[in-house]
Each structure stands twice: as structure tokens, then as C-alpha cells.
């Protein structure tokens, strides 16, 4: 059974600070990893994808992957009130040539940025 | 120019009824999916469909059946609706079975 674990929160962070979101996964064969942002009443929106160990930066967002520890994280620098949302971690066991099993999602972390 | 669209946005119906939700993507993707997000916001895969190959999550009741008239469409038909089917249903598509792009969702309420 593939599982993805996240702290449900809420995680409260002051505006301008760094928000750190964490995720662990159980399936060692997982090859691709995603962070989605979901505002209340809206659909999940892709923020970052990461496939290799290390850091990947995109604007204010940095994804970190450690396959040995089966750990993925998302850092949000200079947090803004508009970053307040639920952040979903997702894993896919296949990097290419399939993945038709779909993504396995964590239950999400509710992030609140305090003005 | 919506990439992944779903209709209807809201669906309210009585127990025992049969209903369908439609999904269309104009991204040219090969794989389409249906996900269910329950009241606790947990998002779970129900089906994926790729080149006429259907993969079913074994936990999905057989009252749920996806139908794909062509590569750009994957509809979800639900028979004999139950209270526990109330949820938000998301369609998604993917170019290579990896990164997935979600539709706006259909909120189903069974009374």
C-alpha cells in the first residue's frame, strides 16, 4: 500500500518568513514527486515537480528531495497572505512510460500566512 | 481556452439515481484520470485511461464506470447513487502519465 504522509496543520507562518512543508512516502520505487496548491473550493494547481535528489528552485519556491530518507519538502520564501492554502504532496512510482496508476496524494498541510 | 473542463460544476441528486459527469481536455494528452476528494479533503485516484486501457482502483465500487468516447473525453457514470458518494470529483489529464493537470471539479451531493 503506497502512502504519503503530511502534517495536516494548520501551519501558521508570519508574512515574509519562510514556510516549510514536509512529506514522507512509503513506496521506495517512487520516482517523481509533486507539490500541488489547493485553495478552498478550487482544484489542485501544480507548484513544483522534482525527480532527483537535492534542491530545485522556482521563484520563491524550493522543493527538496531525499530518496534515501523517503522525504520531500517545500520551502516558500517571503511568504505572502496569498500563499495561504492547502499544500498537497503527491508521488508517482513511474517517471515515464506509464504512471497510469495515478498519483498518490497526502492529506495536505493547511498553511496560514499571518499578515 | 480551458485546458481541462468538467460539467456540471454542481450536481445535487437523490439516493438511487444514476448520474454522469463529463470531462474534456484540449491539451492533446494521452492519459486521463478521475479522482475523488472526500469531505476530509483526501484526494484519491479512481480510474486512469490511456489508449483504451482502463486501470481501476480496486477500492472503487462497480457502480462507477468511466467511459471514453475519444482521447479528449473521459466521462464518469455512477449508478444507484449512495450518500457516501457525496464528494468533489476531479478529472485530470497527463501528457506522459506523470505531471497531472486538474479540471475545476464537480461537487456531487447525494440526498
Top-confidence range, A102-106, B17-21, B65-69, B96-100: B17-21
Do the chains contact at A100 and B42, CB–CB below 8 Å? Answer: no
Write out chain A residues lying below 8 Å of B35, CB-based. Answer: 102
- All three cell numbers of B29, joined, read 494528452
How would residue A93 be classed by pLDDT, with cut points 50, 70 and 90? low
Least confident of A6-15, A38-47, B2-11, B39-48: B39-48
Least confident of A35-39, A89-93, A102-106, B97-101: B97-101
- All three cell numbers of B24, joined, read 474534456
Which residue does chain B place closest to A87, by CA atoms? B41
How would residue A95 be classed by pLDDT, with cut points 50, 70 and 90? very low
Using CB atoms within 10 Å of the CB of residue B14, give its burial: 0 to 12 exposed, 13 to 18 middle, 19+ buried. exposed
For residues B93, B98, B99, B100, the Cα torsion angle rounded to the nearest 10 degrees is 30
Q: What is the mean pLDDT of residues B43-55?
A: 84
Q: Is the Cβ of B43 closer than 8 Å to some Cβ of chain A?
A: yes
Question: Residue B81 in contact with residue B15, Cβ under 8 Å?
Answer: yes
Which residue does chain A place closest to B46, by CA atoms? A102
Amino acid at each position: 500500500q503506497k502512502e504519503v504522509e503530511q502534517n495536516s496543520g494548520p501551519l501558521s507562518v508570519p508574512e515574509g518568513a519562510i514556510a516549510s512543508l514536509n512529506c514522507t512516502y512509503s513506496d521506495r520505487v517512487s520516482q517523481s514527486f509533486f507539490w500541488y496548491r489547493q485553495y478552498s473550493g478550487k482544484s489542485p494547481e501544480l507548484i513544483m515537480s522534482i525527480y532527483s535528489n537535492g534542491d530545485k528552485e522556482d521563484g520563491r519556491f524550493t522543493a527538496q528531495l531525499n530518496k534515501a530518507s523517503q522525504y520531500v519538502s517545500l520551502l516558500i520564501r517571503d511568504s505572502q497572505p496569498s500563499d495561504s492554502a492547502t499544500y498537497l504532496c503527491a508521488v508517482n512510482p513511474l517517471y515515464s512510460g506509464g504512471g497510469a496508476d495515478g498519483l498518490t496524494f497526502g492529506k495536505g498541510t493547511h498553511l496560514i500566512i499571518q499578515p | 481556452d480551458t485546458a481541462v473542463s468538467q460539467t456540471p460544476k454542481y450536481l445535487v441528486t437523490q439516493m438511487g439515481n444514476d448520474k454522469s459527469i463529463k470531462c474534456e481536455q484540449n491539451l492533446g494528452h494521452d492519459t486521463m484520470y478521475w479522482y475523488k476528494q472526500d469531505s476530509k479533503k483526501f484526494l484519491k485516484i479512481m480510474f486512469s485511461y490511456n489508449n483504451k486501457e482502463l486501470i481501476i482502483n480496486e477500492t472503487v465500487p462497480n457502480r462507477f464506470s468511466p467511459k471514453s468516447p475519444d482521447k479528449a473525453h473521459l466521462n464518469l457514470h455512477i449508478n444507484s447513487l449512495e450518500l457516501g458518494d457525496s464528494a468533489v470529483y476531479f478529472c485530470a489529464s497527463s501528457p506522459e502519465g506523470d505531471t497531472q493537470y486538474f479540471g475545476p471539479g464537480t461537487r456531487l451531493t447525494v440526498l
